[in-house]
Structure 1
Amino acid sequence: MFEKLAAYREGDRLEVKRAQGGLPRSLWETYSAFANSSGGVILLGVEELPDTSLRAVGVKDPNKLLDDFWNTVNNPQKVSENVLTDSDVQALSHDDVTIIQITVPRADRRLRPIYLNDNPKRSFRRNRSGDYLCRYEEIQGMMRDAADQSQDSRPLPRVGIGALDLATVSSYRQRYRLSHNGHAWNELGDSDFLRCIGAAAEAEDGRLHPTVAGLLMFGHDWRIAEELPNYFLDYRQQTSFDERWQDRVVSQGGDWTGNLYDFYFRVYSLMRQALKTPFRLEGILRVDDTPAHKALREALANCLTNASFSERRGVVCLWTENALVLKNPGDFRMDLGQALKGGISDPRNANLLKMFSFIDIGERAGSGIPSIVRNWTASGYERPRWEEEFGPDRTTLVLPLAQSANEREARDETGDKSRRQGPATNGKNIRQAGVMDSKRQRSTARTNGKTPAIRTGDKRMENQLKILALARDTGSITTVDVADSLGLGASWSRELLQDLVRKGKLAALGANRNRTYRLVGPEGQGEGAGDA
């Protein structure tokens, strides 16, 4: 590093101080800021020149400076916690002068905030090349994260079980039965089931109430916002410069529950359309699930289960021309390098993660982030990247839609024609483009006079299997959903749905234009439609 010192600049992870008169008082503000942010390096005996380049000037008495430093950093009246080891502080020679290098790691969440003068209000954070005094809400956020108890586990004594949406609970239980056929919890009533999965708990009044996790997962937006005023979920498709967005889903829309469970399935069904899907068959059925789809499911669950819903700025999911972007309030609970290695699970909302994992969504063994990277890059995309912001805290995951260099080379060599389902032209919704593609394919098959590869009866079965899978993925479906997703006409879609109702695979709810369809029992899963 010192050989190229002149090329470095102060920034998020580097601070220099001349330290000609001993330890500068501002050193401790930087120590607090680095420990409360992403860590960094402090160089004593280096000055910043007017052109922002750096120059080594050395310290006058390195041994005394080191003694003073260790005495102060171990004084709890001056610094709340010493997060350093002996190897983090070194005296190094450069151009016949001595520079002291202090490498400050990111503090463990259980120790934060790191503050000065025995006063938590003297907590600092790093912003580019400067240290700033933390606002009250930032200090509160770090203190919440320092607790051993998960943020979403406490019961809400002002909220009754009746505040939860029964249709959402029913949909969740249906998915749970599909994943845990024969489990004893399937025989429980709703209240006992919710207690078992962590969605409800007894409060001090001895009665059962929803936990924070239960309300977030199964409640209505307006009721969630009464307990968590900053709660907000936002999905936007922004793939065209001609419009602000081509599609949007917000929790405050009023036409759906606005809870995390429904948001997850709505947003996943939309964002998955951005992914390329190579043509692959298992028997007569096309397989559309790729490692990238698995990475997206894991990333979305990770975003929701690690969000700090007490923070300003809600969850934002974007489908842009170049990437899928997931943003959640709250910073990382551990160093990003450690999270990428895997093996340590420390979710901000452990109950939410548990509830998602019960229906086969999300990793609970600390392997979620490594699996996102592995599965996304395995599908030929560029490596995902994470970004952190502080004040207010925010974590952003960018899943690039551009192909990696290796994938481009492989495609050039093999001439691979894998289809990518990207945004439709002229700002049209992707689902409309998919319908037109399907119609063109059917028209081409007819005009060429070729016999379809699948007989009429087999094609009917295949479509009904796809309908059941769509119902399983989204909770409820309409005739329009089926027509758009499968590229079928409205009349044929309605006939297929009514046939599944007659066979007991789906239940029809509502009448005429408002009719929706839901799975009926565990037999409604794909394999149960084998006699469709």
Structure 2
Amino acid sequence: MVKNASRINVIPFMIRDFHRKSKENPVQILAGLRPVSLTGNLCGKRKLSSLPGHATIEGKEPSGAREARSMIDFQELGKYRENNRIEAKRAVGGLPRSIWETYSAFANTVGGVILLGVEESPDKTLHSVRLPDPEGLAEDFLVLVNDPAVASVNILSPMNVCVIEAEGNRIVVIEVPRADRRDRPVYVGGDPVKGTYRRNGEGDYHCTLDEVRAMQRDSREGMLDGQILSALPPSSLSAPSVERYRKRLAAARPEHPWLSLPWDGLCAKLGALARGEDRFMHPTAAGLLLFGEGDAIRSVFPHYALDYQERPSRTSRWTYRLRSEDGAWSGNLFDFYERVTERLPLGLPEEEHPQETREALTEALVNAIVHADYEGTRSLSVVKTPCEIVFSNPGGLRPSLPEALGGGVADPRNANIMRILRLAGIGHGEGSGLPAIFRAWKKRNRAAPVLEEQLSLGRTVLTLPLYGKPDAESTGVLSPAVRQAALDYLRDHVSAELSELADFLGEGTARVKLLLGDLIAGGLAEKIVRGGKRLYRLKQ
């Protein structure tokens, strides 16, 4: 937050939401925008009211500027470094070409802030420079971001571009949010293969073809698992798997009218079989993945793989393994679910309410199954050790991380699979699964679960620690997941106080202090004193 700033002039630039296929000239559209409520302030040699599309609301701070300020103290730029959420560009000679790569990268990752009129010093600190015409620079950006030949889509809200006074100079602040999955990939130069970027650390990287295709799949409307596979006959499904599902359905809904149907009739009602254009019945993608034979599944999804492992430690070789390719069982999702849910609770520490733990573990497995991208190249895996259980599914998060953890946002890749499982009483659905898992873990006083979106690896990972949550006076080393969360926080926030980091991690200050000492000893972090406060940051 901004503290003790003498004066900060915030000049937002209001823009409309242009459709990427609009045939109107963006310059003419922008010039036609009318201000809502103009102030009489002067900005350089121009009146604010003379700026196309400029508007301010008396007494109210623009939301875009407010969000930027929550990340950056613009009067102390020197304490910041470029990272995965901040990009500085000198821009004295106009808009740099690399700004569009960063726009794409932020939009396709988790969002970020582009600072024009800010340069990186040799020691990596940031400092403002004097821009000849910051308002003109902002106008140029707004015009070009609406040009489909430059950027595939404009995802900015009206207040995402503003001019702010920083260290005596006026700089342009562009807040780029994470793009909605329907807009991804956000690419530049008119070519999604050559012009799609993501953010990694403090730089933009060019996405691989697999990453681009994964984003394109996620941008499609409709249920991805609803496709009718007209090349396959009904016999591609495993009748014994369907009968095992029938038993689950009978246990959950003993009076259900579909229970008396033959296996193919039940599959038709479930949507596992559907009539194709040839008027014959064929498996749907959901039906094949849930109930299919392994060879039939791989004929459609060549990279499909399921892997469950039990290990005595994180680095040890497995002592038990179940793989979809071993040929000893069907290899489909439903049978994987049945077998894995039987083994997950085995060997867990004794507790007062084991049923809640079993339900949370089941929900974690279902969450991985219904959100997996089976057209991707990664396997769906579950690795169980005495200290944690790690669920990994191919594909990134479709909603943002806060939306996924907050609940209420149901956007599964495989909505038909989720519906079929829920009918038999398996899984919460409706975006409530993850919050239920976190509540169950908190109730059992365990260390908090960790949900990670590993974009460069094309997967989402949920780690459920099996050890108890330590109190503030405990000693010992925190888990690797907590260690990584601390590093991620320092990367995103540049520096933090001990109490701030402890609140974020949900751990006691004594244990977080030990963790920070370990990071300092390992050359990953350092302690500094600024304004009488002890702060921690990543080692430069």
Q: Normalised by the size of structure 1, how large is the TM-score?
A: 0.72
- Identity percentage of aligned residues: 41
Matches of 1:186 and 1:230, distance apart in 2: 34
Matches of 1:85 and 1:240, distance apart in 2: 48
Residue of structure 2 aligned with 1:60, choices 132, 152, 157: 132
Residue of structure 1 aligned with 2:92, choices 17, 20, 24: 20
Matches of 2:339 and 2:369, distance apart in 1: 13
> Does 2:407 match 1:334?
no
Residue identity matched to 1:388: E
Matches of 1:7 and 1:321, distance apart in 2: 42
Once the 2 structures are TM-superposed, how far is the Cα of residue 220 of structure 1 from its aligned partner? Answer: 2.0
> Does 2:174 match 1:102?
yes
Matches of 1:309 and 1:241, distance apart in 2: 26
Residue identity matched to 2:310: Q
Q: Which residue of 2 aligns with 1:520?
A: none
Matches of 1:230 and 1:8, distance apart in 2: 43
Q: Normalised by the size of structure 2, how large is the TM-score?
A: 0.71
Q: Secondary structure in 2 aligned to 1:217? A: helix
Q: Which residue of 1 aligns with 2:102?
A: 30
Q: Which residue of 1 aligns with 2:238?
A: 165
Q: Secondary structure in 2 aligned to 1:87? A: coil
How big is each residue's C-alpha offset from its partner over 1:402-448, in whole Å with a ceiling of 9 and x where there is no partner? 32235999xxxxxxxxxxxxxxxxxxxxxxxxxxxxxxxxxxxxxxx
Aligned pairs for 1:481-520 (under 5 A) are: none
Q: Which residue of 1 aligns with 2:434?
A: 369
Change (3 A) 1:182 1:114: same
> Does 2:289 match 1:289?
no
> Does 2:339 match 1:273?
no
Q: Which residue of 2 aligns with 1:113?
A: 185
Matches of 1:241 and 1:72, distance apart in 2: 50
Q: Secondary structure in 2 aligned to 1:377? A: helix
8 A contact 2:410–2:430 mirrored in 1: yes
How big is each residue's C-alpha offset from its partner over 1:160-219, in whole Å with a ceiling of 9 and x where there is no partner? 111111111100011101111111111222222112212111222111111111111111
Greater CA drift, 153-162 or 358-367:
358-367
How many residues are matched?
A: 401
Q: Which residue of 2 aligns with 1:357?
A: 422
Greater CA drift, 249-258 or 10-19:
10-19
How big is each residue's C-alpha offset from its partner over 1:354-394, in whole Å with a ceiling of 9 and x where there is no partner? 11111211122221221121112111112211111224411
Q: Which residue of 2 aligns with 1:263?
A: 336
Change (3 A) 1:275 1:377: farther
> Does 2:323 match 1:250?
yes
Once the 2 structures are TM-superposed, how far is the Cα of residue 335 of structure 1 from its aligned partner? Answer: 0.8
Q: Which residue of 1 aligns with 2:219?
A: 146
Greater CA drift, 134-143 or 303-312:
134-143
Change (3 A) 1:49 1:274: farther
How big is each residue's C-alpha offset from its partner over 1:281-309, in whole Å with a ceiling of 9 and x where there is no partner? xxxxxxx412x322211111010111001
Residue identity matched to 2:394: P
Once the 2 structures are TM-superposed, how far is the Cα of residue 14 of structure 1 from its aligned partner? Answer: 2.0
Whose helix proportion is higher, 1 or 2? 1
Structure 1 runs (4+) deviating above 4 angstroms are 406-409
Matches of 1:39 and 1:341, distance apart in 2: 18
Matches of 1:187 and 1:154, distance apart in 2: 27
Aligned pairs for 1:134-213 (under 5 A) are: 134-213=207-286
How big is each residue's C-alpha offset from its partner over 1:316-355, in whole Å with a ceiling of 9 and x where there is no partner? 1111343211111101011111122221211000011111
Larger radius of gyration: 1
8 A contact 1:275–1:293 mirrored in 2: no
Q: Secondary structure in 2 aligned to 1:168? A: helix
Aligned pairs for 1:372-411 (under 5 A) are: 372-405=437-470
8 A contact 1:322–1:402 mirrored in 2: yes
How big is each residue's C-alpha offset from its partner over 1:467-518, in whole Å with a ceiling of 9 and x where there is no partner? xxxxxxxxxxxxxxxxxxxxxxxxxxxxxxxxxxxxxxxxxxxxxxxxxxxx
Change (3 A) 1:252 1:341: same
Q: Which residue of 2 aligns with 1:131?
A: 204
Residue identity matched to 1:232: A
Change (3 A) 1:84 1:266: same
Matches of 2:456 and 2:289, distance apart in 1: 24
Once the 2 structures are TM-superposed, how far is the Cα of residue 312 of structure 1 from its aligned partner? Answer: 1.0
8 A contact 1:199–1:213 mirrored in 2: yes
8 A contact 1:306–1:349 mirrored in 2: yes
8 A contact 1:268–1:297 mirrored in 2: yes
Once the 2 structures are TM-superposed, how far is the Cα of residue 53 of structure 1 from its aligned partner? Answer: 2.7
Q: Which residue of 1 aligns with 2:290?
A: 217
Residue identity matched to 1:278: E
Matches of 1:253 and 1:195, distance apart in 2: 29
8 A contact 1:127–1:390 mirrored in 2: no
Residue identity matched to 1:338: E
> Does 2:295 match 1:229?
no
How big is each residue's C-alpha offset from its partner over 1:106-129, in whole Å with a ceiling of 9 and x where there is no partner? 111111111112222222122222
Residue identity matched to 2:442: T
Q: Which residue of 1 aligns with 2:373?
A: 308
Matches of 1:401 and 1:30, distance apart in 2: 39
Q: Which residue of 2 aligns with 1:81?
A: 153
Residue identity matched to 1:36: N
Once the 2 structures are TM-superposed, how far is the Cα of residue 27 of structure 1 from its aligned partner? Answer: 0.5
Unaligned runs of 5+ in 1: 281-287, 410-532
Residue identity matched to 2:133: D
Change (3 A) 1:352 1:58: farther
Once the 2 structures are TM-superposed, how far is the Cα of residue 275 of structure 1 from its aligned partner? Answer: 3.6
Once the 2 structures are TM-superposed, how far is the Cα of residue 260 of structure 1 from its aligned partner? Answer: 0.8
Matches of 2:271 and 2:347, distance apart in 1: 34
Once the 2 structures are TM-superposed, how far is the Cα of residue 273 of structure 1 from its aligned partner? Answer: 2.6
Residue identity matched to 2:280: R
8 A contact 1:57–1:97 mirrored in 2: yes
Matches of 2:392 and 2:79, distance apart in 1: 33
Residue identity matched to 1:71: V
Instruction: Supply the RMSD in Å over aligned alpha carbons.
Output: 2.0
Once the 2 structures are TM-superposed, how far is the Cα of residue 94 of structure 1 from its aligned partner? Answer: 1.6
Q: Secondary structure in 1 aligned to 2:345? A: helix
Q: Secondary structure in 2 aligned to 1:125? A: strand
> Does 2:362 match 1:324?
no
Once the 2 structures are TM-superposed, how far is the Cα of residue 95 of structure 1 from its aligned partner? Answer: 1.2
Matches of 1:242 and 1:31, distance apart in 2: 39
